[in-house]
């Protein structure tokens, strides 16, 4: 029987996101398991793990804003932009003041262009960048537009500093730290990274691996699952008739009483008895709601 829901896991350092997926798959005996947003092996913190039909809403989870706490060091640049990489330059950073750092931080707020690091999972002509980097090949990477909603200096102990970042999807914190160092003229690299929040999931509520294993051992792990529609609560909810439920099942576009799309790109559809049926997407040119993700109640 398929079990649908989301676990909020606190990924430990030294473990890949895929390794956590495989652990949950083995413990739960579920085939459909996936994560919502990769964390680097040495990064820690919130890693949502989706099971069953919840794997189908992973794209919406990845789109959610994320918050990180990053510790960095000025004066040393590395090939990987973090402490694991080969040192590529050393510059005395003693000339950098707190005021200069805060001024540069403010320049990275908002919509910015960012180049993914060579040591990343981004693909170039069908190959992962990190595979090319390990082969000693460096290629030109296309800049990406990312969004930094909040950027705050938490601690300043030169040459070390700690910042909190709230950002949109696709943001590489390693690249952000690297670019900060370049702007300051001395270079910098990421020493430690913790994901504090991903969408509605917060680190204070996340499960450590020992806690997760204990929940499986004693048979209460399903009580720790978040329902898959919980992460979509920022969208409007529509309760549909049995007739419109059938339209949704068949993938037919429909109207919703009192709900025009306008700036509402998507909505959640529920049956009269409260079952989560589907994600509907508004088609502006037709004025109709198109079933985008339809969920089976008996899968």
The 10 Å Cβ neighbour count of residue 256 is 19
273 catalytic, yes or no? Answer: no
Helix (H) or strand (E) holding 59: helix 58-63
Helix (H) or strand (E) holding 175: helix 173-184
Cis bond upstream, residue 159 (ω within 30): yes
DSSP letter string, 220-286: -GGGGPBPGGGGGTTSEEEE--HHHHHHHHTT--B--TT---TT--EEEEE-TT--EEEEEEEETTT
Closest CA to 139 of 129, 151, 152, 153: 129
CA dist., res. 180 & res. 183, Å (int): 5
Out of 40, 82, 179, 229, the active site residue is: 40
Closest CA to 289 of 280, 298, 276, 278: 280
CA dist., res. 172 & res. 213, Å (int): 30
Q: CA separation (Å) from 271 to 4, 241, 260?
A: 18, 7, 19
Q: Give the three-state DSSP class for 77.
A: strand
Counting Cβ atoms within 10 Å, is residue 82 exposed (0-12), middle (13-18) or buried (19+)?
buried
Report the residue count for the chain: 299
Catalytic residue annotation:
40
């Amino acid at each position: 029987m398929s079990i649908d829901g989301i676990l909020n896991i606190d990924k430990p350092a030294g473990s890949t996101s895929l390794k956590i997926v495989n652990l949950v798959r083995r413990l739960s005996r579920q085939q459909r398991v996936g994560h919502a947003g990769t964390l680097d092996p040495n990064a820690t913190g919130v890693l949502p793990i989706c099971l069953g039909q919840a794997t189908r809403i992973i794209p919406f989870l990845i789109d959610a804003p994320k918050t990180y706490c990053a510790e960095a060091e000025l004066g040393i640049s590395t090939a990987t932009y973090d402490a694991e990489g080969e040192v590529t330059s050393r510059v005395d950073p003693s000339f950098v003041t707190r005021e200069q750092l805060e001024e540069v931080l403010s320049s990275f707020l908002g919509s910015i262009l960012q180049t993914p690091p060579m040591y990343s999972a981004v693909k170039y002509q069908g190959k992962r960048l990190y595979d090319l980097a390990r082969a000693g090949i460096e290629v030109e990477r296309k800049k990406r537009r990312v969004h930094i909603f909040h950027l705050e200096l938490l601690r300043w102990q030169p040459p070390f500093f700690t910042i909190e970042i709230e950002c949109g999807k696709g943001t590489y914190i390693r690249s952000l730290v690297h670019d900060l160092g370049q702007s300051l003229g001395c270079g910098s690299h990421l020493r430690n990274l913790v994901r504090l929040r991903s969408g509605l999931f917060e680190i204070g509520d996340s499960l450590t691996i020992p806690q997760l294993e204990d929940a499986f051992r004693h048979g209460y792990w399903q009580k720790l699952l978040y329902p898959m529609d919980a992460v979509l609560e920022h969208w409007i909810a529509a309760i549909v008739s049995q007739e419109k439920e059938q339209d949704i099942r068949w993938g037919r576009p429909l109207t919703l009483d009192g709900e025009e799309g306008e700036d509402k790109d998507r909505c959640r559809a529920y049956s009269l008895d409260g079952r989560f049926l589907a994600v509907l997407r508004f088609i502006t040119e037709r004025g109709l709601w198109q079933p985008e993700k339809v969920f089976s109640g008996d899968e």
